[in-house]
Each structure stands twice: as C-alpha cells, then as structure tokens.
Amino acid sequence: QSVLTQPPSASGTPGQRVSISCSGSSSNIGSINFNWYQQLPGTAPRLLIYNNDERPAGVPDRFSGSRSGTSASLAISGLQSDDEGDYYCAAWVESLSSRVFGGGTKLTVL
Amino acid sequence: EVQLVESGGALVQPGGSLRLSCAASGFTFSSYSMNWVRQAPGKGLEWVSYIGRGSSPIYYADSVKGRFTISRDDAKNSLYLQMSSLRDEDTAVYFCTRDSGKTAADDYWGQGTLVTVSS
C-alpha cells in the first residue's frame, strides 16, 4: 500500500472543474511538500505543480494545487479533452529517506 | 534545450545484470541532483534511486537496495544505473529525471528505456 493514496479515477465534462486528492498516511510522513505530475497517454510524465501550489513555467493557470496537513489536492478548471491522462502526486519523505508516488488517478473527460 | 536520453534497456534473464545510461544536455549537469524512476507496464510510477551533486548523498528504494547502484560522471554529463540480480518485477520503463532542487520535484524527464526481465 502506497504511503500516498489517490482515488484510482476521476472524471468531468469539458469546461468543468475537477479535483484529485492525495492523502498521506500520517504515521510516518511528518510534514511533507507535494508535487504533481501529468502523464498523457504514451508520453513521459510532466511536472505540473511543485512545493504544494507552485506552477513551473509553461503550465497553464487552470492547474492549481493546495495542501492541508498531510494531504493535498490538484484542481483542474476549464477541463479540456487534452487533459485526459494519469495524474500522480509525489513527495520526499524525510523519515523514510525516500521519494514516494501516489498510485495515480486516471482522469477521463466525458 | 534540456534533454535527457536514456539507453541500455534490453531483454534480460532473471538473475542477470544490465547497465542503463542517461545522456544529459542543455544544462550544467554537475549542478543538479538526478533520479531514476520506473513504470511497470500498465502500472504507476515508482521512484528507484537518487544521487546528489558530487555523487552524495545516494538513496535507494527498498525494492532495489543492494541490487542496483546509481552513479554519475559529470565529465561525460551522464547518469547510470547498474542493475544486478534482476527479477521479473523489475520489468519496467526506466526514466532518468532531473531534480529541480525544489521539494524533490523532477522538472525534466527522459523518454525512458524499457527493461524486460524474462526467461
């Protein structure tokens, strides 16, 4: 079982706003900062959000992140068909000296 | 333009060894920490190993500790992953990533190289 838990799937219609959660098991995580990645079909992952809520250059402001304690959320507004793919949260867990990824959430645009 | 190009993936028998390489360009390689991340067919992402600037510190996932060795050659702008005692469950696409230095976020990824462990 992953240290970071994501829902396996999410969906929305074009133009809608969707959120994807990432919950950390609090027993050994402590205070962590979350990053989010997007993986479109057949491509390498791409960094979407780092340090909980910051966007790298080139990432549209339709994508936003937030953190609350040992959990985080990725929100996508103005959903587009091109957003369909897999989304992963990730963090460095100091107590484990390990990077961890959530199991991933498959986003479907209906 | 930042580029990361992995190579070395192949079909290998269980118990065998393989060395992956990642050629970096478009940035000052020695100034960045690097990672290997893998993805089994149809599965999610799994972090494998981290190497800091100057080759320190080094960390491994428990699943590969004692079997895999990460290294780098800053003169050749290259990252390596020496894999030994390979198991079926090591079958995956292996990605080389650049650590941005900001909360362990990987800001650049290679396209990956496929390692298949099978008899």
Q: Does A25 score more than 90 pLDDT?
A: no
Cross-chain residue pair A51–B105, CB shorter than 8 Å: yes
Separation of alpha carbons B43 and B21, rounded Å: 23
Per-residue pLDDT of chain B (119 residues; tens, 9 = 90+): 999 999 999 999 999 999 999 999 999 999 999 999 999 999 999 999 999 999 999 999 999 999 999 999 999 999 999 999 999 999 999 999 999 987 889 999 999 999 999 99
User: B78 and B27 in contact (C-beta within 8 Å)?
Assistant: no
Cβ atoms within 10 Å of A34's Cβ, excluding its own: 27
Which pLDDT score is estimated for A29? 65
In a mutagenesis test of the B interface, which of A9, A33, A46, A47 is the best target, namely the one with the most B β-carbons within 10 Å? A47
Separation of alpha carbons B36 and B28, rounded Å: 18
Separation of alpha carbons A100 and B108, rounded Å: 17
Q: Does A28 score more than 70 pLDDT?
A: no
The nearest alpha carbon in chain B to A106 belongs to B44
Residues of A in contact with B46 (CB under 8 A): 101
- Identity of the residue in A46, A98, A102 whose CB atom sits nearest the CB atom of B59: A98
**A40-43: long-range contacts at Cβ-Cβ below 8 A with a sequence spacing of 24 or more?**
A40/A82, A40/A84, A40/A85, A41/A84, A41/A85
In a mutagenesis test of the A interface, which of B58, B62, B106, B114 is the best target, namely the one with the most A β-carbons within 10 Å? B106
Q: How confident is the model at residue A36 (pLDDT cuts 50, 70, 90)?
A: very high
Q: Residue holding tokens 């050659």?
A: B73
Q: Does A3 score more than 90 pLDDT?
A: no
Separation of alpha carbons A32 and A42, rounded Å: 30
Residues of A in contact with B59 (CB under 8 A): 97-99
Q: Kindly give, in sequence order, each residue whose CB lies less than 8 Å from that of residue A36, ignoring residues fewer than 6 positions away.
A: A22, A47, A48, A49, A50, A63, A65, A72, A74, A87, A88, A89, A90
Q: How confident is the model at residue A104 (pLDDT cuts 50, 70, 90)?
A: very high
User: B2 and B26 in contact (C-beta within 8 Å)?
Assistant: yes
Question: Per the omega criterion (within 30 degrees of 0), is the bond before B57 cis?
Answer: yes
Q: Residue A35 gets which letter from DSSP?
A: E
Min Cα distance A8 → chain B (Å) is: 11
Cβ atoms within 10 Å of A97's Cβ, excluding its own: 11
- Identity of the residue in B44, B103, B105 whose CB atom sits nearest the CB atom of A101: B44
Which pLDDT score is estimated for B77? 98
Min Cα distance A87 → chain B (Å) is: 10
Q: In this structure, what is the dihedral angle of CA atoms A19, A72, B99, A1, given to the nearest 10 degrees? A: -100
The nearest alpha carbon in chain B to A38 belongs to B45
Residues 7-66 on A with a CB inside 8 Å of B are 33-35, 37, 39, 44-47, 50-52, 54, 56
Cross-chain residue pair A45–B103, CB shorter than 8 Å: no
Which pLDDT score is estimated for B13? 97
Which pLDDT score is estimated for A1? 61
Tell me the pLDDT tens digit for each residue of A61-98.
999 999 988 899 999 999 999 999 999 999 998 888 89
Task: Give the Å distances, CA to CA, from A93 to A26, A27, A53, B47, B104.
Answer: 11, 12, 18, 12, 10
